[in-house]
A = this chain, B = another copy of it.
Amino acid sequence: MSELRGACIFGQSGGPTSVINASAAGVIQEALKHGCITKVYGAAHGIKGVLTENFYDMSQEDAKELDLLKTTPSSALGSVRYKLKSEEEDDTDYKRLVEVFKKYDIRYFFYNGGNDSMDTCNKVSKYMQKVGYECRVMGVPKTIDNDLWGTDHCPGYGSAAKYVATSTMEIYHDARVYDTGMVTVLEIMGRNAGWLTAATALAAYKGNGPDLIYLPELPFDMDQFLEDTSRIYKANGKVIVAVSEGAKDKDGTYVAEMGANLSKDSFGHAQLGGTASILANIVKNKIAKKVRGIEFSLLQRCAAHVGSLTDINEAYSAGQAAVRYAVEGKTDFMVAFERIPGAEYKCEIKLVNLTDVANTEKKIPREWINKEGNGLTDDFIKYALPLIQGESVLPLEEGLPRFAKLKKVLGTK
């Protein structure tokens, strides 16, 4: 191990979560402790802030506010969806990065995000190696989609899953107060992987969940959906369906795109909208008079008020570990979690190669989905339940959350 002196820069990228700032706190608070890290910069809007020299000096922030980051949802530094082109295609950004890194003597690069962000992180890492600029690069995982390869699960998922399961249980109660029939369709985030939609199975495990769950891992079969829904409606009068926003049929057409063809209102107008509202309309035309389509929307990824303490702590330690490992000499890795077998839930931190992680999506194994393709097995419950344990305690002022307020003082050389 050789000591590497220099500044570090940290960026957040991709869709926010309710705990991505806990990872930020982990990185920043840990980095501030190490003498070899001469400056701690926080990039405004991820890689874009690095390219434009738009980053903050995190040592200027109050310690109390940095602590509050642990329970502040969304990306406090600002996020970005910016895909670096391959170096062969266009190396402008890469050259600029080296320029900025040299100018500020940046020797540590920490990047917090999902698949695309790990791709960015990987590209930065490989380019710096190639041009011989010594910089330790570490990815910090984050995504409510839980679809990063090489890790048992991703920070952000546990809290989103806890929110989705809790809200589903509450909706379950609300959706059966009348003695009339009703079908409720819940739309949950996840374009290609159904982890978050599957979290509604935790509500079902508690007896207050959906009757049917459709994940994007399997082709969505409209006839089967209508048959399933109709059968349960006839038997119980109440049906709750959870469906992923990414549900698509065997030809790859998203349900969300089917509106124009399948669903007409009584005036013959086409109904367009999200997956839930389209399915709700179809059910209304074919099965039940009373139907509700509910989209959890942004709420599911920013609801810090019902965060999982396990998730927050893990998000924080992922950030912390990224710094520690980098200081120890590690580079070109993403911090990941490995579950230790045993009755009690325990995860250890490990490192996975950025190359292996970048752009690889982890989906729900087929054997965790029931044979009918409309529910989850116990294996999923065993996997997911530990991740939602413990409750975040949100600091409050006058009965409302007190979120971190950063000064955001621009960094200097």
Contact = CB atoms under 8 A, between A and B. Distances in A.
Interface of A: 12, 16, 18, 44-45, 48, 72-75, 78-81, 162, 165-167, 169-171, 173-179, 184, 202-203, 206, 208, 260, 265, 267, 269-273, 277, 292, 294-295, 297-299, 301-306, 308, 385, 388-391, 396-401, 403
Given A297-B292, A389-B399, A400-B166, A302 B171 contact: yes
A345 to B, nearest CB: 11
Contacts of A80: 178-179
A413 to B, nearest CB: 23
Nearest to A393: B391
A171 B79 contact: no
Given A174-B298, A179-B78, A401 B169 contact: yes
A306 B177 CA distance: 20
Contact of A303 (B12, B48, B167): B167
24 contacts: A16-B174, A72-B173, A73-B170, A74-B173, A74-B176, A78-B177, A81-B178, A170-B302, A173-B302, A174-B302, A175-B298, A202-B400, A203-B400, A260-B269, A269-B269, A271-B272, A273-B277, A292-B297, A295-B295, A295-B297, A299-B299, A306-B306, A308-B399, A389-B399
B179 A48 contact: yes
Contacts of A299: 167, 170-171, 294, 299
A239 to B, nearest CB: 15
Contact of A269 (B81, B169, B184, B270): B270
Contacts of A385: 398-399
**Copies in the assembly, this chain:** 2
A176 B179 CA distance: 42
A304 B170 contact: yes
A302 B173 CA distance: 8
Given A170-B302, A174-B302, A178-B78, A390 B399 contact: yes
Given A173-B72, A269-B272, A400-B203, A294 B297 contact: yes
A401 B207 CA distance: 11
Contacts of A397: 206
Given A179-B78, A270-B270, A390-B399, A294 B305 contact: no
Contacts of A265: 272
A303 B171 CA distance: 8
Query: Closest 9 CB pairs between A and B?
Result: A74-B173, A174-B302, A79-B177, A170-B302, A389-B399, A75-B177, A388-B399, A74-B174, A294-B297
A174 B400 contact: no
A303 B170 contact: yes
Contacts of A399: 162, 308, 385, 388-391
A74 B168 CA distance: 13
Nearest to A165: B400
Contacts of A73: 170, 173-174
Given A174-B301, A294-B295, 15 more contacts: A12-B177, A16-B174, A74-B170, A74-B177, A75-B177, A78-B177, A80-B178, A169-B403, A171-B298, A260-B267, A271-B272, A294-B297, A305-B306, A308-B399, A391-B396
